């Protein structure tokens, strides 16, 4: 054999495997990007159409609060023309898309304030409320769900399941009003509206947050509870747990390493999407407690038929849900090695 005939074999799983992994990752990201792009495109259409589908119109707000019937036809046409509402829906939609892609959300019909400024003023309050709620929701939902899964065989998890289903079925606005009546009116123990002096008095903020956070937590932990419980029951019946139990692994270590960690994988996805839906649920709770977040801004915009402000807040909520789903997709492969392994096969 000559020197030219001697070749070095390429190790299996190096260059070829890395290339297949990159291609699989690129296909996955392209597919998910197309899905999210479609969702955002539909959201833009709905955000534009929904305010205009509501009964009534913005003439009263644009006319300074005057009775619409008192305005002459000429005044009405003039007001609509000043805000571009006399154009066809197609022309208005194209103008709306152009504003969105240039990050210009327009000007509020009510006070003439830029919509982006109104959203940025309210967004920190909503983030504070939702952030506090998601921590409490995750702790309660995961802990009780794992406990219910462990106690099912002994018949002690049914009461936890019934409690979670009960709170999951209660409307958040109804529970909030009950809390206002009991803790605020009857006991007089907690404030029931607003945030007091706001950021100027950080010490008083926790008291104003108790009831809204408690309402969102109790009506939101049910999904995490159910997913954690079902996942824990599935993992406890898996072969690797039975093998660990047969090897004499201590119960505490078996539950922590062999049961709880694998059981939390599906909970991760639910938790990330729950953040987005808590933002939507906060709209109702913020209105009930007169909390100065996006929910209150959206409620006032709907009442005034403030098209630009409604479109802006709806778009922020939609983007929040999409971003949380995207983060869940991106991070799931980091915590579950099976996803990365499947991408190369």
- CB 194 within 8 Å of CB 291: yes
Which of these, 217, 324, 339, 317, lies nearest to 271 by C-alpha position? 324
pLDDT band, very low/low/confident/very high, at 214 (cuts 50, 70, 90): very high
Residue whose entry in the numeric block shows the structure tokens 């999904």: 223
Distance CA 317, CA 329 (A): 19
Q: Both tokens of residue 322?
A: 């999409």
Name the band, by pLDDT with cuts 50, 70 and 90, for residue 222.
Answer: confident
pLDDT tens digits for range 101-134: 888 888 888 777 888 888 898 888 888 888 888 8
Residue 313 CA to residue 306 CA, distance in Å, equals 11
Q: What is the mean pLDDT of residues 171-188?
A: 89
Report the mean per-residue pLDDT for the chain: 78
| Inter-CA distances, 309 with 69, 105, 106, 110, 302, Å | 24, 8, 8, 9, 9
Domains of the chain (ranges; CATH) run 16-101 (no CATH), 115-337 (1.10.3720.10)
**pLDDT of 2 strictly over 50:** no
Write the pLDDT tens digit of every residue in 190-209.
888 877 766 666 677 888 88
Secondary structure of 301-341 as H, E, C letters? HHHHCCHHHHHHHHHHHHHHHHHHHHHHHHHHHHHCHHHHH
Q: Secondary structure of the chain: what % helix, strand, coil (to 5)?
A: 75, 0, 20
- Single pTM value for the model: 0.76
Q: pLDDT tens for residues 307-330? A: 888 888 888 888 887 877 777 777
> Given pLDDT bands bounded at 50, 70 and 90, which one contains residue 291?
confident
Beta-carbon contacts of 65 under 8 Å, excluding residues fewer than 6 positions away, are: none
Classify 248 as helix, strand or coil: coil
């Amino acid at each position: 054999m000559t020197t030219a005939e001697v070749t070095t074999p390429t190790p299996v799983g190096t260059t070829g495997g890395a290339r297949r992994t990159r291609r699989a990752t690129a296909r996955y990201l392209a597919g998910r990007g197309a899905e999210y792009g479609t969702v955002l495109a539909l959201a833009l259409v709905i955000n534009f159409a929904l305010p205009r589908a509501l009964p009534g119109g913005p003439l009263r707000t644009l006319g300074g609060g005057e009775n619409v019937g008192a305005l002459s036809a000429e005044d009405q046409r003039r007001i609509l023309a000043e805000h571009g509402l006399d154009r066809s829906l197609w022309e208005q939609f194209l103008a709306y898309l152009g504003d969105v892609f240039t990050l210009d959300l327009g000007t509020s019909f009510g006070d003439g304030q830029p919509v982006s400024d109104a959203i940025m003023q309210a967004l920190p309050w909503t983030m504070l409320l939702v952030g506090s709620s998601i921590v409490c929701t995750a702790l309660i939902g995961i802990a009780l769900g794992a406990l219910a899964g462990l106690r099912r065989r002994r018949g002690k998890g049914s009461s936890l399941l019934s409690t979670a289903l009960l709170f999951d079925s209660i409307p958040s606005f109804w529970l909030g009003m009950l809390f206002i009546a009991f803790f605020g009116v009857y006991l007089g123990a907690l404030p029931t509206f607003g945030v007091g002096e706001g950021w100027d008095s950080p010490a008083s903020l926790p008291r104003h947050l108790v009831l809204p956070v408690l309402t969102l937590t109790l009506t939101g932990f049910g999904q995490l509870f159910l997913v954690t419980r079902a996942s824990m029951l599935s993992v406890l019946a898996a072969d690797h747990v039975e093998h660990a139990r047969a090897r004499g692994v201590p119960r505490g270590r078996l539950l922590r390493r062999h049961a709880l960690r694998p059981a939390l994988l599906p909970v991760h996805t639910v938790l990330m999407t729950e953040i987005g839906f808590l933002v939507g649920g906060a709209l109702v709770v913020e209105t009930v407690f007169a909390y100065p977040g996006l929910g209150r801004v959206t409620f006032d915009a709907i009442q005034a038929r403030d098209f630009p402000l409604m479109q802006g807040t709806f778009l922020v909520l939609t983007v929040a849900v999409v971003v949380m789903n995207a983060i869940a997709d991106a991070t799931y492969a980091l915590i579950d090695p099976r996803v990365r392994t499947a991408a190369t096969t």
